[in-house]
Amino acid sequence: MDIITPHFWTARRRHGNRVTLVHGRGRIVDARGRTIWQEDWQPNTLADEGEENVLNDWLLEQAALNKYLCLLTATPGETTTMATMTELFAPPLNGYARQQCAAGGWGAPGLDATDFMTTHAEKTFGPAATNPWVDFTHVALVSTATGTAGKFLLYVALSGTTSISVGQSFKYTLSVKAQ
């Protein structure tokens, strides 16, 4: 399968009528680490709990939350919470676990065209252990490694419904561009 060349923004991108600062890109790798599929950068949607967190963290200087990526099998919405999201599996199961996006994983912001941008180190889900992972459609950023007691911050739609076979892994990268 052809690899899609990554796309970087040259102008402010919008998702519906919302400004989108966070973008994500997924890829599937086989057991030998070879990329067998990769998508273009996709825009995020900030959930209500994520909007509140941004304002609390940035303007009110409240403590930053831990952040974890997870895979979803149903389309979330702005009011989705961790209790109402539909996760691929309850972690840890079948090689699946939420992946922490710690502060130290972000690169130093640098200029991209005329705006500052930073990218988090790629995170790896898997490999799928005993059964394929089928029909996941979104990646979400949440505030806890397991359970539903945290905050549902944002989500990014994948370019299509995605499945991986036993032995394959799903890798994901987040990038933020301030405009």
**Closest-CA residue to 139 (of 179, 83, 79, 99):** 99
In a domain, 4, yes or no: no
Number of domains within the chain? 1
Structural domain boundaries, residue 126: 14-177
Residue 45 domain flag: yes
pLDDT in tens, 6-43: 333 223 334 454 556 789 999 999 999 999 999 999 99
| C-alpha closest to that of 176 among 7, 55, 21, 57 | 21
Question: Looking at the domain assignment, is residue 5 inside a domain?
Answer: no
Domain presence at residue 95: yes
Domain membership of residue 38 (yes or no) is yes
Could you tell me if residue 131 is inside a domain?
yes
pLDDT above 70 covers a percentage of the chain that reads 89
CA distances from 66 to 13, 90, 108 (A): 27, 18, 19
The per-residue DSSP string of the chain comes to -PPPPP---SS--EETTEE--EEEEEEEE-TTS-EEEEPPPEEEEE-HHHHHHHHHHHTS-PPPPP-EEEEESS---TT--TTT--BSSSSSBTTB--EE--GGGBPPPEEETTEEEEEBPPEEE----SS-EEEEEEEEEES-SSSSSS-EEEEEEEEEEEEE-TT-EEEEEEEEE--
Q: What mean pLDDT is predicted for residues 134-156? A: 96
Distance CA 165, CA 92 (A): 17
Mapping DSSP onto H, E and C, the string for 100-111 reads: ECCHHHECCCEE
Contact 65, 151 (CB under 8 A): yes
Q: Could you report the per-residue pLDDT of 87-102, keeping only the tens digit for each?
A: 999 888 899 999 999 9
Match 């990526």 to its residue by tokens.
69
- What is the 3 state secondary structure string of 89-132? CCCCECCECCEECCHHHECCCEEECCEEEEEECCEEECCCCCCC
Calculate mean pLDDT across residues 160-178: 94
If you search the block for the tokens 């459609």, which residue do you land on? 137
How confident is the model at residue 178, as a pLDDT?
81
Is 72's pLDDT higher than 60? yes
113, part of any domain: yes
Q: Is residue 8 part of a domain?
A: no
- How high is the pLDDT of residue 13? 38
Instruction: Quote the pLDDT of residue 167.
Output: 96
